[in-house]
Amino acid sequence: MTMTWLQEPISSPSPLPSGEERKREGTESPPFLPQMVRVEDVLAPAAPMKAADTGLDAALVSELTLKAAATVPQFNTEWAARKLHLPQQLLGEVLEQLRANQLLDVLGQAGPFGYRYAITQRGRETANRLLEISGYIGPAPVSLAAYSAMIEWQLTLTPPPTLEQVQEATADMVLTEEARLMATLAASSGRSLFVFGPAGNGKTTLGRQLHNALGGDIWIPHCINIDSNIIRIFDAQIHRQVNSLAGAAGWQVDRRWVRVRRPLIVAGGEMTLDSCDLIYSRSLRYYEAPLHVKANGGMFLIDDFGRQRVEPHDLLNRWIVPLEHQIDFLTLHTGQKVQVPFRLLLIIATNLRPEDVTDPAFLRRMGYRLLLDKPTPERYKQIFERYAARWGAVVVPELFAHLFNRYQAEQREPRCCEPRDLIERARDICRLRGQPLVLDKTLLDLAWAGYFGTSAASPSAAAN
């Protein structure tokens, strides 16, 4: 495995312009960007070789190490390095200082590069006091400045989605050309998208599939620190981790960072104003980042907007500053405000009328607006035929006339999701009967009854 060390932070693909050129072009590297290392075809944050390279106060690293030591009867240098996600060489220096301060005892040699340790009574008392301030034990954090610089730098280098990529990502959907264009413009510009229209016409599906057009991976930290406060960013239930380069080159990469797919986070009716700020655990004494911070570098989809347990206008006002300036302000439990990046594609989907949930001040800050209305008969047919073909079923023209008569007789507005839903119920019936899927009027009438809860008799049969 070939390793190439980069002596300065990278601001653009090679060949790198000079510092003066970058300054003139306005592309100068963020000052707090971590040093990067190229491992094969991947650029990764380089492992810190000494405590000063972590960007953290040396006392914070020592405190994290001591708290970890208090959780086990004894440990070695390698264990501490794995626990804090820091190189053994760096941790060896920290452990030696803790030993010199009589907070740890050396029990003996542990391999050629480490020792076995046990915490002293003095060290345990100190660790207990530290745990009363912050109960966090785990990977060492990165600084807020490094996190902000890294997010900004990565997105600057990431090419925006093209129309072809959006077409490929949304190929399963039958969209008008205008709708596809608006979705592409939002994704390629990084601006927000407000999608509205009757329920069941593809708003949520569009948001989820549009995420597939956001290519590439990003590095995010396990957590960040602000003074003595720890904020957890990486969430294994949300972020999809990819190859972490943990093989031969693993110790060359700063393992405080995690390489993930660009995230997709969906929030629905459970959202409140409190969930848009830092979540402080009084028992653990550290913070969980809100969902939109965890979505940085990817997409944040607010689904079913207007159904949240908070007034829509209050929730929209929460996003005005982030949409305007691409930054957000979060509040620590002490009242201190901290600035974090807001670098994501925000999609808001609602089946309510825009005038009922928005105001002009908010709408003018939205990048694009898109109405996904009920399907025309032609679009309905296209959706139906495409989904039926997936299961090898043929649709005769008379079947559509029969379906549209039922919609008209029951005064129902057709929705884009209904061709799929009706065919899926027809498949359930055929599976139960042990027969192949053959779409006819009788089968669809039974599927209709199961889906809409009305009589299985067709309108014409009922009239007779």
pLDDT of residue 446: 96
Which residue has 């079947």 as its token pair?
Answer: 399
Query: For the whole model, what pTM was predicted?
Result: 0.86
Query: Tell me: the pLDDT tens digits for 22-34?
Result: 443 344 567 899 9
**Does residue 295 carry a pLDDT above 90?**
yes
Three-state SS at 228 = coil
Question: Residue 227: its pLDDT value, please?
Answer: 86
Average pLDDT over residues 430-441: 95
Question: Where are any strands of DSSP class E within 217-278?
Answer: 217-221, 223-226, 229-232, 257-261, 264-267
pLDDT band, very low/low/confident/very high, at 13 (cuts 50, 70, 90): very low
Distance (Å, rounded) from C-alpha 231 to C-alpha 287?
5
Question: What is the model's pLDDT at position 22?
Answer: 40
Residue 271 pLDDT grade (very low, low, confident, very high; cuts 50, 70, 90): confident
Cis peptide before 290 (omega within 30 of 0): no
Whether residue 144 contacts residue 224, with contact meaning beta carbons closer than 8 Å, is answered with: yes
Q: Parallel, antiparallel, or unpaired for β 327-331 and 115-119?
A: unpaired
Using the predicted structure, report yes or no on whether residue 15 has a pLDDT greater than 50: no
Q: How far is Cα 162 from Cα 417, in angstroms, rounded to an integer?
A: 27
Question: Would you state the pLDDT for residue 244?
Answer: 63
The Cα–Cα gap between 396 and 443 comes to 14
Q: Calculate the dihedral angle through the C-alpha atoms of 247, 253, 257, 259, rounding to the nearest 10 degrees.
A: -50
Q: Per-residue b/e over 149-185, b at no fewer than 16 CB within 10 Å?
A: bbbbbbbeebeebeeebbeebbeebbbeeebbebbbb
Give the residue-averaged pLDDT of 268-279: 87
* Residue 213: closest CA among 154, 265, 172, 164: 164
In angstroms, how far is CA 186 from the centroid of its own chain? Answer: 17
pLDDT of residue 461: 52
Share the mean pLDDT of the chain.
88
Strand-pair partners of 104: 119
pLDDT of residue 366: 82
54-75 pLDDT per residue, tens: 999 999 999 999 999 999 999 9
**pLDDT score of 17:** 38
Question: What integer pLDDT is reported at residue 229 of this predicted model?
Answer: 93
Asked whether the predicted pLDDT for residue 228 surpasses 80, the reply is yes
CA distance 66 to 115: 15
220-235 mean pLDDT: 95
Question: Between β-strands 104-109 and 223-226, what pairing exists: parallel, antiparallel or unpaired?
Answer: unpaired
Q: Which residue has the higher pLDDT, 297 or 244?
A: 297
Better-scored residue on pLDDT, 346 or 6 = 346
pLDDT at 246: 54
Please report where in the chains the tokens 């925006």 appear, as a residue: 160
pLDDT band at 263 (very low <50, low <70, confident <90, very high): very high
Total residues found in the chain within this entry: 464
Supply angle C-alpha 323, 328, 334, rounded to 5: 155
pLDDT in tens, 320-371: 889 889 999 999 988 999 999 999 999 999 988 777 777 777 777 788 999 9
The pLDDT assigned to 14 comes to: 33
Q: What sign has the CA pseudo-torsion 231, 233, 238, 243? A: negative
